[in-house]
Structure formats: structure tokens, C-alpha cells
Structure 1
Amino acid sequence: MYAERASRLTGAVVWTNTPTAPGTGRVLPDGCMDLLWYDGRLLVAGPDTRAHVTEGAPGPWAGVRFYPGAAPALLGVPAHELRDRRVDLTDLWPADRVRRLAARVNAAPDPASGLEEAALSRAAETDPPDPLLRRIVAALDAGRPVATTAGELSLSARQLHRRSLAAFGYGPKTLARVLRLQRALRLARAGTPLAETAARSGYADQAHLARDVRELAGAAPGELLGRRG
């Protein structure tokens, strides 16, 4: 069973997941990075370009999903170095530091709240993310073309690409595509017909939506949404 709530850390989400049956799961690209807890260990999920298929590991998981672009400053590593990867936090930070942090999380009333406190503590020690990153996300999530976004933010195409790689893990065109997929899924899950979903999300047509879903999510829209026909 999956559950989430808004975090006290701006833009972040705290979530828990306890698989109810063995089997694989599918984590879709969303432009975000996560700090994870599993079986007493701390891990980091980098930004995905395609669906990440999980193996249904038993036991509860917990995580803090950071707003796009926020995690690299907290973790001290550019996002593109973690693209499509899941790594132990000890791969990024000294082992003794991670052990102390894991002990704090494990001693918390629940791992999710422990992770949130750890994230809040780390955020208090670091400079806040560049406000420009939120403006990039907002513009691309509104469906604005990459060239238009760069011009409105007084960036060259190369500057926008470089900032995007470090903050989001991939270039602005890929980020725009991922954000468009998430817009479409929100509409479709709310019951919007797929043809209308495609039009409102910025796809050329329903076939374009279906192709993008298959490429990014590894499944047909009906399969992903649990619909027939």
C-alpha cells in the first residue's frame, strides 16, 4: 500500500510503500530525486528517463521526494551523475556520517518522519536551491517551448541545458517531456478521456500520447491506468 503527504520541506513529498503482494512495480519518471529508507539502510534514487521496474522487495519502504532541482544541493552531487540509478547514500557521503544519520532515522517514531527530519536538517545547513530552477520547471510544466523558456529567463540554449543537467539530471527537452507525461497521467487518472487528455497536455493527438507513454513508462496507457479497451 502506497501513501504520501506534503512535507514540511518546501515542495517535497513524504511517502511510504508496503507491497501487499510479491511481484514487480513500476516507478515512472517525474523529474524528481528521492532519499529512501529500506531495511534500515539509506539510499538515493536519481532522476529517471524511463520507468524504473522494482522487484517487489518485501517489507516497508519510506522516502522523501524532493521538488525537481532541489536534491543536488542537499546531496552535494550533480543530478546527471545519478541519472537512472539507485545508490547507497554511502556512495555519496562518508560511511560514518551515513551510519549516524541512519541511526537517527531508525530511532524515529517511523522511518518516513525520520527521513523528513533528516532532510529538513540538511536543508538548514545548505544554501536554498537557485530560484531560477523553479522558474524553469514552471515554464516547461506549463508547456512552454524550450527556446521560449530560455529566452524568457535570459539564458542561452547552452546555459539552460547545462543548468538542467546539473539540477534535473537531463536536458530541458527531456524534462519537458517527463513533465508532460505527468500532466497527462494526472488528467487521465481523474477520469479525463484520453483524446481530451492528449489535447490538454500538449500532445499532437491521442496516438502521440500513447507512443510517449509506451516509451517513458514501458506500458500502454490502458495498462498503466488499469483500463480496458
Structure 2
Amino acid sequence: MAIENEDRPSDSPYIERVYRSEGVAAVTRMHSVANSNWELVVWEDCGRVHVAIRGPETKPTTVEVTPEASWFGIIFAHGAAMPHLPVLRLVDLAVPTPHVTSDTLVMRGEEWELPSFDNAEDFVNRLVRASILVRDPLVTDVVAGDDAPRLSARSVQRRVVAATGLTQGAIRQIERARQAAVLLGEGVAPLDVVHRLGYYDQPHLARSLIRFMGRTATDLQHPNPDEPLSLLYKSSR
């Protein structure tokens, strides 16, 4: 039996997705795949609440899962960032938030009510009003595939890296591999995935899946329920 997941999109320009999960007795490990977005994660384990800021992940990892644990996350949109905690320093890292209680957390020295799956947008709006969370709309548009008027490619790249911690090329590669994994999990044939997503050929697809998903096409078509993948979803882009 896999980890029980629920996720939803958001109408906030600062949020890519919101999710919540619960561990189950049969699962003790989760395979975390590459992800180009950063997120805030709140989880409860053995009666204690924890909070962390988790940066973009450029490689797959395996993490231990406690069956009794439950967790909730806000995945932030490309272009959203916290100036006091640069995303570039968070790549492949998770930074615990200090002074967490069952109801509150401390961020930038201020106490905040813990967010939930249902009020994530309200929490984010409060962070925006306090200037803790900002957004570069140009980065959002460029990552989505739009052109950046009147700016050099070098200037655009600097802004993308500053806001996301990754280059445009790295984001494209990670997102393409994630979409390939979704399609394969839906039963789409590898050769069709190659054509749909613009891979050169099946070996190119295979290398991308191993690098970013840590799985082969066959693994993704026939997943191991004892080691489920972290959240995968169809991108709105």
C-alpha cells in the first residue's frame, strides 16, 4: 500500500501546489525525485510538530518514513522567494525552522500561526504583506516559456538563478523528466514519451529518468508500492 497523498493546485501566483500525506504501516521508505521548486513542509511525528524549508532537488534520494507520521507542504511557484533565505543556498538541502510548537512557527524572527492544507493561501498572503515572501514575475514568465523583453540572456539567467536556485536549463531538464514519469505512470509507451517531450531518442529518455527520477521507464510503469515516489503531478505549463 502506497503513502496516502492528496494535492491541489492554487490560484495564488506564489504557489505551485499544496499537498498533504499520511504514512501507512507497510511503507518505511519514500523515493524523493528531483524537483525544481522549493517548498515549506510541516510534519507531525510521534506527537511532535516539525517545519522545514526544503530547497530544489537536483537528484533523487531515499528518505525514511515513519508510518504514524503525517505531513503537509506548500510548493512555491518559480519566481517566488524569501530574500532572507536565498533559494540558491537551499539547493539539495532542507533547513529546519526553529521554535516550532503545535500551533506556531518562527520565521525571520517573527511568530506565525502554522499553515494548513486548507489555509495555505492565507498564510502565504500574510508572508507577502510582511515582505517575507516576494516574487519576480519575469522569472515566472520565462520559466513558463515566455520571452523576456528588453533583457539580455545573461540578465535573465541571473534573475532565474537568484529566484529559483537553478539555471533555466536545469529547470527544463528536471520538469521534462517529471512529466515523463507522469506519462509513463499513466501507461504511455516510452517511444511516445520521447516524441511528446522532445527527447532525442529512448536512450536519452532513459538517462534523464535515471539522473532525475532514479528509476527506469519499466520501474515507473510498474512502481514498487513498498517505496513510493514523492509527489508527481501534471504541470499547468
Per the shorter chain, which TM-score range? 0.7 to 0.9
Preserved CA contact (<8 Å) 1:19 1:56: yes
Q: Which runs of 5+ in 1 are unaligned?
A: 141-148
Q: Which runs of 5+ in 2 are unaligned?
A: 100-105, 225-237
2:72 is matched with which residue: 45, 62, 65? Answer: 62
Preserved CA contact (<8 Å) 2:39 2:73: yes
Residues 225, 69 of structure 1: CA spacing in aligned structure 2 closer, same or farther, 3 A cutoff?
Answer: farther
Distance of 1:139 and 1:66 partners within structure 2: 18
Residues 169, 192 of structure 1: CA spacing in aligned structure 2 closer, same or farther, 3 A cutoff?
Answer: same
Distance of 1:128 and 1:85 partners within structure 2: 21
Preserved CA contact (<8 Å) 1:46 1:84: yes
Question: Paired residue for 2:5?
Answer: 2
Matched residue pairs, number? 207
Distance of 1:155 and 1:182 partners within structure 2: 29
Quote the RMSD (CA, aligned, Å): 2.6
One-letter amino acid of the structure 2 residue matched with residue 79 of structure 1: V
Preserved CA contact (<8 Å) 1:37 1:115: no
Residues 115, 53 of structure 1: CA spacing in aligned structure 2 closer, same or farther, 3 A cutoff?
Answer: farther
Preserved CA contact (<8 Å) 1:28 1:50: yes
2:33 counterpart of 1:28: yes
Question: Paired residue for 1:44?
Answer: 53
1:158 is matched with which residue: 150, 154, 157? Answer: 154
Distance of 1:90 and 1:159 partners within structure 2: 35
Report the TM-score when normalising by structure 1. 0.79
Distance of 1:187 and 1:178 partners within structure 2: 14
Distance of 2:185 and 2:150 partners within structure 1: 36
Q: Aligned residues: percent identity?
A: 24
The structure where helix makes up a greater share of residues is 1
Question: Paired residue for 2:169?
Answer: 173
Distance of 2:51 and 2:222 partners within structure 1: 32
Distance of 1:225 and 1:125 partners within structure 2: 45
Specify the SS of the correspondent of 1:177. Answer: helix
The structure where strand makes up a greater share of residues is 2
Instruction: Give the deviation of 1:198 after TM superposition.
Output: 1.1
2:144 counterpart of 1:138: yes
Preserved CA contact (<8 Å) 1:160 1:172: no
Distance of 1:153 and 1:198 partners within structure 2: 31
1:188 is matched with which residue: 155, 159, 184? Answer: 184
Counterparts in 2 of 1:66-105, with a 5 A limit? 66-70=76-80, 72-73=81-82, 76-90=84-98, 93-94=107-108, 97=110, 100-101=111-112, 104-105=113-114
Instruction: Give the deviation of 1:171 after TM superposition.
Output: 1.3
Residues 9, 136 of structure 1: CA spacing in aligned structure 2 closer, same or farther, 3 A cutoff?
Answer: same
Question: Paired residue for 1:214?
Answer: 210
One-letter amino acid of the structure 1 residue matched with residue 58 of structure 2: T
Distance of 1:115 and 1:25 partners within structure 2: 24
Instruction: Give the deviation of 1:8 after TM superposition.
Output: 4.6
Residues 69, 131 of structure 1: CA spacing in aligned structure 2 closer, same or farther, 3 A cutoff?
Answer: closer
| Larger mean Cα displacement after TM superposition, 186-195 or 197-206 | 186-195
Distance of 2:181 and 2:213 partners within structure 1: 11
One-letter amino acid of the structure 2 residue matched with residue 187 of structure 1: L
